[in-house]
């Protein structure tokens, strides 16, 4: 009987060597893994005179653009015939406020931005002439396509520094959900 008990004790012992091997392999894997930084960064001009930094902030001349959708300018949502989850908006209107000037069509916007791109300003860091940075702000009812249309036109006009400001809220649909 003593022999049987000894055999049962031996069978109940667990071999920990494979588990330790796996643990070390996982540790080596995570040590060899490269942790990358963000691949894409938005250029921002943050104020340098707030916080612990006591240096004087050099004002940067910039071009403020507001994209707005007039009341009733959202248009009509027409469902797609092939995929009913998708829809097309017909009659959607937006206005662009480039500084104090209101623009209603992409052609007028392109003309105005090309004219603004010719007005160069001095870069406070390098003292070289460059185009003004643009800050885009948008209001309720503005669609993603409206913003990308503006960015495409601005880049074609020669602007390279484009930043995004805060949004002006969302458009409420008839069902109570927000779309924008």
Per-residue DSSP letter, 154: H
How many C-alpha atoms does 148 have within 13 Å on its Cβ side? Answer: 3
Percent residues over pLDDT 70 in the chain: 72
Asked if 30 contacts 22 with a C-beta cutoff of 8 angstroms, the reply is: no
Residue the block writes with tokens 């009812």:
141
On the question of pLDDT at 83 being above 70, the answer is yes
On the question of pLDDT at 179 being above 50, the answer is no
Domain ranges in the chain are: 2-32, 63-179
Each residue of 84-128: pLDDT tens digit?
888 777 888 888 888 888 988 889 999 998 998 888 888 777 888
Selected residue with higher pLDDT from 151 and 73:
151
Mean pLDDT of 18-26: 91
> Rounded to the nearest 10 degrees, what angle do helices 106-118 and 144-157 cross at?
40
Percent residues over pLDDT 90 in the chain: 6
Selected residue with higher pLDDT from 1 and 174:
1
């Amino acid at each position: 009987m003593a022999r049987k008990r000894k055999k049962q004790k031996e069978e109940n012992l667990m071999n920990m060597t494979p588990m330790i091997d796996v643990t070390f392999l996982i540790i080596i894997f995570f040590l060899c893994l490269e942790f990358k930084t963000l691949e894409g960064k938005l250029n921002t001009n943050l104020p340098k005179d707030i916080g612990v930094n006591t240096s004087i902030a050099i004002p940067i001349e910039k071009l403020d653009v507001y994209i707005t959708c007039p009341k009733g300018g959202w248009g009509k949502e027409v469902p797609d015939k092939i995929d009913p989850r998708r829809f097309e908006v017909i009659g959607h209107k937006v206005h662009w406020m480039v500084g104090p000037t209101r623009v209603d069509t992409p052609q007028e916007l392109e003309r105005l931005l090309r004219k603004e791109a010719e007005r160069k300003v001095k870069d406070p860091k390098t003292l070289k002439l460059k185009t003004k940075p643009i800050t885009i702000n948008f209001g309720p009812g503005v669609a993603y396509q409206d913003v990308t249309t503006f960015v495409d036109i601005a880049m074609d006009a020669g602007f390279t520094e484009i930043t995004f400001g805060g949004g002006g809220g969302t458009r409420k649909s008839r069902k109570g959900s927000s779309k924008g």
